[in-house]
Chains A and B, each alone.
Chain A
Amino acid sequence: MTQAELRLCSLLLQEHFGEIVEKVGNSLLRTGPRPLRLLVGDTGLLPDQVKKALCVLIQHNLVRYEVQPRGHVEYEARSERILRILRYPRYIYTAKTLYGDSGELLVEELLLHGHLSMSCAVARVADRLTETMEDGKTMDYSEVSSTFVRLADTHFIQRCPMVPESPRSAKAPPPPAPALAIAEKDMYVVPRLSLVGKGKRRHSCNEEEEGEHKAKRQKQEGGTSETPPDDGIYWQVNLERFHQHFRDQALVSAVASRMDQTSSEVVRTMLRMSEVTTASGASHTQPLSSNEIFRSLPAGYNIGKQVLDQYLALLADDPLEFVGKSGDSGGGTYTVSILWGELGVPRPETFGSRCARIFRLLLRKKHLEQKQVEDFAMIPAKEAKDMLYRMLSENLVSLQEIPKTPDHAPSRTFYLYTVNVMATARMLLHRCYKSVANLMERRQHEMRENKRLLEKSQRVEAILASMQATGAEVAQLHEVEEMITGPERQQLETLKRNVNKIDASENQVDETIFVLESFIESTMKRP
């Protein structure tokens, strides 16, 4: 793990789980898998604190454990999973666009709690939705349940590995840690539950007597006296599936920008058809016959079969190879190539569009001499020189020597510029991690600097709220508002604007991180 990744993981853990969890996570990340007592020694925390932190981390799938052959349990941090915390807003937003409010809240609850049982998740979401509805209305469990089932069917959520059910004989001592496992086929099977009920409001005036009883029940975190029917079956968000979705989106928009709307729709249809059949690491979708594609086109697109065939031919011929023809059965079968290739070129924007041209040229032609670069890019020699050297100093391009004579005499050697794609991608990724970490630290710094002012404004708001609840006059409210002076108000405004900007930037950089990581991953898997 690079320093940048470590630092980012640290910050993410600290921001979302507190310093104790951060210390434990840090120790695991830096020194690798270790057992509990070594962790306690390393971090200098109390054993109970470490245990608590580990429970939290395991609950959220950020740490896994394994029973070693010697008998003790070792814990290992999952760094790539910790980095995903940055992407939580994107997952939730995607769920919202696909499955509406219930989908959004279901994914949010699963992310906030790590994993939940279906009954628990549905209950929580129904309660939350009920809160936002008008008085007297409640959200029925069945609606939320159906969204849950749809999420499971399209693989956006999956079951967690389960505790083995084998009955332990009285003689054999129970293992120090359960070996959780789940079969591939069971991963998306929704248990048959008849979840009946409606969401409950937290403060409902109608049900006075039950209100207290319910409040008590809600206080217990996820525990009722009777065991729920789906005891032991937990669900988690399937991040890989979301990544697949993002990738599909990127492909479709790339096609749309390169060709036209209709062709992008064709590609989108093809991708949708193979959503569930494509393994997450595959480089191509399963072959789809054009007849099938024709049948699955969305209703609004009344293009004839001939036209569709033409589009497919066009897409297949495109040098970018989005779509490949893989056979003639059923009117020609096509696959969508899910490699990243040209998509992973975000960088040269900082150097200007001319540099971007040179960069793309080098990517395409692999190796070029100085003179050739000038000619192909149609850029005057001096500028081209300057840009090449700047990119060279930033390690975006590199020089390759090709000697003409065995003594490598410099005057008789070709010097070619080339782009080492993988190295460049990795370097950019590293920079991205660093950027996000810097952004987070800056944001925390801003908040710390203005802590006093923030606390004051919170207090004032609390006072205002309570006064409004008890029905104070406008003049009194005004007086309380005056407690925050003009310049202070401005300061708060500036702070809010800055923090928003930094947060938005973090989201933006995460998008780039996603593209780069996917590119590197898919390129490494290529045979």
Chain B
Amino acid sequence: GRGRGRGRGQMTFNVEAVGIGKGDALPPPTLQPSPLFPALERRAAPLPGGEEGEYMLALKQELRRAMRGLPYFVKPGAPRRDIERYSDKYQLSSPVDSAIDWNPDWRRLPRELKIRVRRLRKGRTAPLIPKKHVALDKEETIKKLESLEKKEEEVTSEEEEEKEEEEEGKEEEEEEYDEEEHEEETDYVLSYFDNGESFGPDSDDNGDEAVY
């Protein structure tokens, strides 16, 4: 039957066959989406414990921790700061974006994937070095190579490049002052180095105070 008019409320199939007897109440219609956390009718079975489970759990956590430390975990490069800070030189350098820290067997990979690692000088990113200073670089490098013992010279050459690169120039006296203080093995714990950010834009003017 069609179910309209006569014999309203009849279904197209024999209701008895499916099992709903006459007079049984049908469940009320649902008017809203099901709840986000429906009540659990019965609790889940307890997790199997035991040595095997414990060991695999430890393995899993250990693996996760280990993989974070491997070079395969690609961390996004440090965001480029607006101004080159002096303390950048002393911070633990994160691997530069464009470099690969492990040596894959390039013979097994498509050629287009090979990344050319450009030679960097002491934590400065290559594109920042303006072209005209390339010659200066070479000169400095040769000088550095010749006089390895004189660390001051090395520092001086660095200072000079730093000076040329920084948008805010440094004063001569400050430079010389720095020379003595900023040798590679300093007595002072580098982590205590305060790059003066918190003091606002005046920090660079007070050369004597900012430098330890």
Contacts and interface: CB of A to CB of B under 8 A. Distances in A.
Interface string B21-63: 0000000000000000000011011011000110111011101
Interface string A91-103: 0110010000000
A224 B5 CA distance: 90
Contacts of B61: 503
Given A349-B45, A507-B53, A176 B111 contact: yes
Interface stretch (B9-17, B119-127, B180-188): B9-17
Provide the main secondary structure of the chain A interface.
helix
B42 A350 contact: yes
A305 interface: no
B94 to A, nearest CB: 13
B139 interface: no
Please classify how large the interface on chain A is, using the bins under 10, 10 to 19, 20 to 34, 35 or more. 35 or more
Given A221-B103, A504-B57, A352 B42 contact: yes
Interface centre among B41, B102, B114 (most CB of A within 10 A): B102
A505 interface: yes
Given A15-B64, A65-B110, A49 B57 contact: no
Given A54-B113, A93-B55, A370-B17, A508 B47 contact: yes
Contacts of A36: 112-113
Nearest to A111: B63
Contact of A89 (B48, B56, B97): B56
A220 B112 CA distance: 24
Contacts of B111: 174, 176-177
Contact of A222 (B44, B103, B112, B113): B103
Contact of B100 (A52, A92, A93, A414): A52
Nearest to A15: B64
Contacts of B44: 350
B57 A503 contact: yes
A281 interface: no
Interface stretch (A17-25, A257-265, A424-432, A472-480): A17-25
A467 interface: no
Given A16-B73, A222-B102, A505-B47, A411 B14 contact: yes
B74 A180 contact: no
A60 B72 contact: yes
B53 A504 contact: yes
Contacts of A54: 113
A177 B110 contact: yes
A507 B74 contact: no
A111 B59 CA distance: 13
Interface of A: 15-21, 36, 46, 48-49, 51-56, 58-60, 65, 67, 73, 88-90, 92-93, 96, 108, 111-114, 163, 174, 176-178, 180, 220-223, 232, 234, 349-350, 352, 370, 381, 385, 388-389, 410-411, 413-415, 500-501, 503-508
12 contacts: A17-B72, A18-B76, A51-B113, A65-B110, A93-B52, A108-B63, A178-B109, A222-B102, A410-B13, A413-B13, A413-B17, A507-B60
Interface of B: 11-14, 17-19, 41-42, 44-45, 47-48, 52-53, 55-57, 59-61, 63-64, 66-67, 70-77, 97-98, 100-105, 107-115
- In the A-B complex, the 5 residue pairs with the smallest Cβ-Cβ separation, listed nearest first, are A410-B13, A177-B110, A89-B59, A411-B14, A48-B98
Given A51-B115, A504-B47, A504-B57, 7 more contacts: A17-B72, A51-B113, A67-B110, A90-B56, A114-B72, A350-B42, A389-B19
